[in-house]
Amino acid sequence: MTDDGERRCFSQWLGRLHRWTPSAETGDLPDRSPAAYRQPLRSAGRRIEGSVGRPWVDADARATLARLSGLLDRIERRWDCVEDVCRSSPRTMVHGDLVAKNVRIRERGGSREVVVLDWEMVGVGVPCVDLKLLGDDLAEYVAVVQPVRPELTLGVVRAMAAMGQIFRSLLVLDWKTCDFESAWCDGPGFAALEDRMEAAARCVESGASAWGIG
């Protein structure tokens, strides 16, 4: 998205997607509730614990993994904050992987149209993880979604976006820890994830009241 018009078009599309209410016909879609994002937290923690003693993991990498393990523990201890924020969020359709490479804006019939690719992670749950591409510009999204979801004030959506960053960081870490099953992975690249997990830990430890929720 290269200009304000494209960002506005995407915000409106996302707001319309999140106005949708689940029905019986969608009961077989995967769960995207906070509980679903707790699973990668735990599986990443198990892989880290099982990897620190591998012979190809050097001392620096072991130290990084130990710190990441501690950060995951901090996040899990305050998972109640995540759940408190998400209670204000509706259950709706969640794309699950709204990154720039999966979004196209095209001209059709004299107007702009959003085309979204790669629905592999689609599910039903809290829409927090879908808010990444909106950045701090949430007002247009709120204006579209709020007539159907009046509980979604700007403050609530900001808190949801923060939870979405946590969910996405946990998914990335879980995916990356799979590398330790291969001898070529000795740890480089995990240090960059420390900052993301530290930010996530600080966010949940602040409590839902820091967002004006609960």
- 177 vs 121: which has the higher pLDDT: 121
Residue 56 maps to a domain:
yes
Note whether residue 138 is domain-resident: yes
The chain-wide mean pLDDT, for the chain, equals 88
In a domain, 214, yes or no: no
Read off the CATH number of the domain in which 70 is found.
3.90.1200
With respect to residue 92, please indicate whether it lies within any of the assigned structural domains: yes
Whether the pLDDT of residue 43 is over 70: the answer is: yes
Q: What's the confidence (pLDDT) of residue 25?
A: 63
In the chain, the number of structural domains is 1
Handedness of CA 167, 117, 22, 27 (dihedral sign): negative
Asked if 161 and 121 touch (Cβ cutoff 8 Å), the reply is: no
Confidence class of residue 72 from pLDDT cuts 50, 70 and 90?
very high
- Residue 77's domain comprises 4-209
Lowest average pLDDT, out of 6-20, 78-92, 170-184, goes to 170-184
How much is the pTM?
0.89
Residues 114/9, Cβ–Cβ less than 8 Å: yes
Q: Is residue 114 part of a domain?
A: yes
Mean local confidence (pLDDT), 148-169: 93
Q: What is the pLDDT of residue 24?
A: 60
- Does the pLDDT value for residue 78 go beyond 80? yes
Give the model's pLDDT for residue 187. 58
